[in-house]
Amino acid sequence: MKRKILAALLASTMVLSLTACGGGSDAPAADGGAAATEEAPAAEAPAADEAAPAADAAAGGDETLTVWCWDPAFNMNAMYEAEKVYQKDHPNFKLNVVETPWEDVQTKITTAATSGDLSTLPDIFLMQDNAFQKNVISFPDVCMDLTNSGVDFSQFAAGKTAYSVIDGKNYGVPFDNGAVVACYRTDYLEQAGLTIDDFTDITFDQYMENGKKVLEATGKPLISMQAGECDLIMMMMQSAGSSLFNEDGTANIVGNDTLKAVMETYKALKDSGVLVEVNSWDEYVGSMVSGDVAGTINGCWIMASIQTAEDQSGNWALTNMPSLVGVSSATNYSNNGGSSWAVTTKCANPDLACDFLASTFAGSTELYDNILSSGALATWAPAGDSNAYATPNDFFGGDAVSAKIVDFSTKVPSNITGVYYYEGRDAVATAITNYINGSDIDAEMQTAADTVNFLMGQ
């Protein structure tokens, strides 16, 4: 079984670095934070063995921890700011932050675990949330159990924390916020006689009816999505607490009434003209900043891309996403993207690493205030009460959007990712494309399930 899982890991290493789910996207990695920073090419990272975790250093009282993460302006900046905060009470503390693109992190973890030599791993590394269960289940010796580490996980959004919980144990300290937001051009809504209140706490049926009014008044669709991708599908699924897999890891596709409702809703949106599909990530972002669409639904990191259109400042507003119709567990909240910090079992000083994370990412409003300007929004609930998070955002009509997003994140239902999460997303992306083009929905769901089951059986 482990050989099958390893094959899936190696096959999907590059897929894990993409925002969207149906391979081949040129989107930046949503799980790393703000889209504007993820597009920048990463500098070549030092080799893991050059980072020198040096387990024997702890014996000499060394207070240095090595960290792997990507994106200098986002994740690495957050670590440097955390270092400054922790040094106030621990002046000898230092971080050796090694820039390591996510796909390299995944490859190095896989190589270390399969070779049986974990000495090449750092003390702490960042892991994409959707890959957490895959890695902990596949390689149980890599990540330290943080359940009794001193981190108060109850202060994080439950839906976020669930990504790194396996068999009831916590293996990750949640970091950046991927809570879903619905953003709209208020000047377009006004032309249709609507306001942001008409899009708050609504269903997808109401969303479509409002969208038809906007389309008629302005000629603009409400939303664009990449053809052949399924980010919106997965956001809809999680908003109702539904998953493509069961607790035991088996596929939950055939007979999944929520998935069927999601696919039907997506097709109805496209058929109505309220949703338009584009061919690439650049076209997706371009449709918003050029004013070709009246809004979007995505992880909150999309706000960084929207705000590059400086001439549109004040003409945008933000609220929660629509809920599914006919699904009893439906909510107006979901997640897309995000990552969490893991401590390796070969950490040179595990007590220091745990105290550092508990005191900063799980304990410092100062840290989250300091990194807010980079687009790093917390899922740690106390951060949302700070003055920085209450600051009005002029681009979004003077709304305190940061505090609002933290509140959204606390209401996101949990979902199950498992080992074959990305393979499941790919199969569903193909199914929705074929369904839109006229195929039978039940037949496509069966084909998607057969594809996933085949991959799981290899």
pTM, entire model: 0.81
Query: Is pLDDT of 238 > 60?
Result: yes
The span from the CA of 242 to the CA of 413, in Å, is 9
Span 324-361, pLDDT tens digits: 999 999 999 999 988 999 999 999 999 999 999 999 99
Q: Specify the DSSP element, H or E, that contains 344.
A: none
184 three-state secondary structure? strand
Three-state secondary structure readout of 243-308: CCECCCCCECCCCCHHHHHHHHHHHHHHHHCCEEEECCHHHHHHHHHCCCCCEEEEECCHHHHHCC
The neighbouring-strand residues paired with 317 are 184
Mean pLDDT, rounded, of the chain: 88
Q: Are 346 and 56 in contact (CB under 8 A)?
A: no
Percent with pLDDT over 70 in the chain: 86
Span 420-444, pLDDT tens digits: 998 999 999 999 999 999 999 999 9
Over residues 14-29, the mean pLDDT reads: 37
Domains of the chain with CATH codes: 4-8+31-177+336-388 (3.40.190.10), 180-334+417-457 (3.40.190.10)
Over residues 152-167, the mean pLDDT reads: 93
